[in-house]
Amino acid sequence: MTQASAPGKVYFFGEHAVVYGKPAIACAIDLRTNVGVKSSRDDSVYFVSNRKKIHIQRSPYIHETLKILSENYDIPLSGFRLIIKSTLPKASGLGSSAALVIATIGAISEEFGLNISREHIASIGHEVEKNVQGRASPTDTYISTFGGVYRMPDKVRLPTPQLTFVIGDTKTSSSTKELVEHVANLRQRYGFVDNIINAIGELCREGERYFVKGDVERIGELMLMNHSLLEVLGVGSRKLRKLVDAAMEGGAYGAKLTGAGGGGCIISITCEDRVDEISDRIKRCGGRAYVVHPTDEGLVL
Amino acid sequence: MTQASAPGKVYFFGEHAVVYGKPAIACAIDLRTNVGVKSSRDDSVYFVSNRKKIHIQRSPYIHETLKILSENYDIPLSGFRLIIKSTLPKASGLGSSAALVIATIGAISEEFGLNISREHIASIGHEVEKNVQGRASPTDTYISTFGGVYRMPDKVRLPTPQLTFVIGDTKTSSSTKELVEHVANLRQRYGFVDNIINAIGELCREGERYFVKGDVERIGELMLMNHSLLEVLGVGSRKLRKLVDAAMEGGAYGAKLTGAGGGGCIISITCEDRVDEISDRIKRCGGRAYVVHPTDEGLVL
């Protein structure tokens, strides 16, 4: 069986503002989705985590991936069995769909000796997400392919900082589409929303300097400010705020929601010593805690 | 005995940004300080609330007020007894010092037939606060003198909205000087802080339109956004956030810290129906709740 794995990702800065042309800084994390491929008349997808098996057609991301690959390469549209193993929580803003798509492309490319370049894998992945979701940022699939830290959309690689993430999952999902629309409506209603969006963009540019310097405390301070700016835009929530506060009380350098907001996850950054304290506080608030690290490993075949 | 009373005040929008030349909207509330004056060899100040009597010299605001008045008018510097009765919590960002000063000027003016104009009373009051504190906004003493709702610093009168305030007191004090310095330091450190300050200024201009329209829900929505912007500037606190959340969960239209932040009070706006619910929730979070209304009555002789 041919296997490939791809990482999830978090946003240090810039989500939502990036929709309006501002920069964002995203980072691959060492929660990964592993896809194994073998020939089979099954045409099935088997999820190891919940021991569920479904027909390939009923997995929109995998189906769309195979469709695009078969349109561009000499591979069949069917006759596979995929086995999916993932440590990434789904629909939590950590890029699980992108990781699934990139790992699938990687596994298929290996299985059939297609030798698709990484740049091309990233762009096919973006195509898949666009088709399934209606629209998609290129960030998730790009980061999942290449790993490391990038300023998007310009795809500028930044030094990977030495730090530990404690991710707090609110265990509630949200609609990215609705949250993006909410911000758009707010922007139509109030002119000063552009000042907020500009502020986030400037904050991101400011934050980039601290990746170069490796100043984790400043990165943390800016993350906290970024979170409050996202709350102004109305994409925060009480649960997200609770987890941010819990992480800060546990001694984190900084914390903020990651991704669309509304529900999903927060990320906090810290040194290794404080990891247990922060995880405990997150759990006590009703969240699920994951201790992860930035990873330079994108798609691995 | 001659008496005068003057109201406290809250900020709808704009505190902290007003330091940088942005507009702010402040509103007199019906918590008042009453000052009674009579001739006496005592030279004392008696506080009805805690039954404490002190020498006039030991009350910096009253002492400075009498000093300036005696320099400008034919009144003695001593030979008084002042009786102070107030429903305004001290040092809570509700303008209790200004109310004390304005009511004192008013009472002295009445007692000695000085007929000081309101404009002049407000400016003497500002002088007193400046001398005692080192620096002072003209807002507190102006609003206390004139009552109603004003956009400062331009002193533009706005329509008084029909609403009820539920004020939540964190029962913790803070240093205005330190908080103003904190914002100044943040502004030196990060360029995007100017975007935040501009956003608050624009938000205030936006909010002014809704006073004209009497749209309390929109005023509330903007107050909440103003609060989050103040959190970005680092003048929020967990307790203030808790009370804001409590008020919103009680069904308020909006809520925010008022004044310097750090500690002090939040204000929430609502209709009369929800007042008990909101007050209860504020108390359950450890805050003290005051139900007050905007007042058009400034200094009353």
What is the rounded average pLDDT of the residues B9-31?
97
Q: Mutual orientation of helices B118-133 and B60-72 as an angle, nearest 10°?
A: 130
Cα–Cα dist B137/B119, whole Å = 15
Q: Which residues of A touch B229 (CB under 8 A)?
A: 196, 228, 232
Residue A137 to chain B, least CA–CA distance (Å): 25
Residue B288 to chain A, least CA–CA distance (Å): 22
Q: Which residues of B touch A256 (CB under 8 A)?
A: none
HSE value, Cβ hemisphere, 13 Å, CA-based, for B35: 31
Cα–Cα dist B138/B129, whole Å = 9
> What value does the mean pLDDT of chain B take?
95
The domain made up of B160-292 is a member of CATH 3.30.70.890:
yes
The pLDDT confidence band at residue B185, using thresholds 50, 70 and 90, is: very high
Q: Which residues of A touch B192 (CB under 8 A)?
A: 198-200, 202-203, 206
Q: Which residues of B touch A199 (CB under 8 A)?
A: 192, 195-196, 199, 232
pLDDT in tens, B280-300: 999 999 999 999 999 999 999
**Residues of A engaging B, defined by a Cβ cutoff of 8 Å:** 190-192, 195-196, 198-200, 202-203, 206, 222, 225, 228-229, 231-232, 236, 238, 241, 245
For residue B91, pLDDT over 90 is answered with no
Give the number of beta-carbon pairs within 8 Å between A and B: 61
* First vs last C-alpha separation in chain A: 12
pLDDT at A92: 87
Q: Which residues of A touch B13 (CB under 8 A)?
A: none
pLDDT in tens, B242-267: 999 999 999 999 999 999 999 999 99
pLDDT at A204: 98
Strand A44-47 with A80-86, pairing: parallel
Out of B199, B241, B245, the one facing A195 most closely (by C-beta) is: B199
pLDDT in tens, B202-211: 999 999 999 9
The domain made up of A2-156 is a member of CATH 3.30.230.10:
yes
Contacts of B213 (CB under 8 A, 6+ apart): none
Residue A233 to chain B, least CA–CA distance (Å): 8
pTM of the model: 0.92
Contacts of B185 (CB under 8 A, 6+ apart): none
pLDDT < 70 stretches in chain A: none
Q: Where are the domains of chain A?
A: 2-156, 160-292
CB-based contact A250:A271 (threshold 8 Å):
no
pLDDT in tens, B117-150: 999 999 999 999 999 998 899 999 999 999 999 9
CB-based contact B146:B117 (threshold 8 Å):
no
Instruction: Please give the residue of chain A at the shortest CA–CA distance from B202.
Output: A192
For residue B42, pLDDT over 90 is answered with no
pLDDT at A3: 97
pLDDT at B135: 86
Are the beta carbons of B199 and A202 separated by less than 8 Å?
no
Paired strand residues for A83: A36, A46
For residue B114, pLDDT over 90 is answered with yes
Identify whether B140 is a catalytic site residue.
yes
Rounded-to-10 torsion of CA A238, A244, A247, A251? -130
The one catalytic residue in A30, A140, A154, A273 is A140
pLDDT at B77: 81
| 3-class SS of residue B173 | coil
Cα–Cα dist B8/B89, whole Å = 9
pLDDT in tens, B23-39: 999 999 999 999 999 98
pLDDT at B80: 87
Interface confidence, given as ipTM, is: 0.88
Paired strand residues for A2: A37
Paired strand residues for A37: A2, A82
The pLDDT confidence band at residue B101, using thresholds 50, 70 and 90, is: very high
Residue B208 to chain A, least CA–CA distance (Å): 13
pLDDT at A111: 94
CB-based contact B23:B204 (threshold 8 Å):
yes
Write out the DSSP string of A30-51.
EEEEEEEEEE-TT-EEEETTTT
pLDDT at B78: 83
pLDDT at A131: 95
Instruction: Please state, for a pLDDT cut of 70, what percent of chain A lies above it.
Output: 100
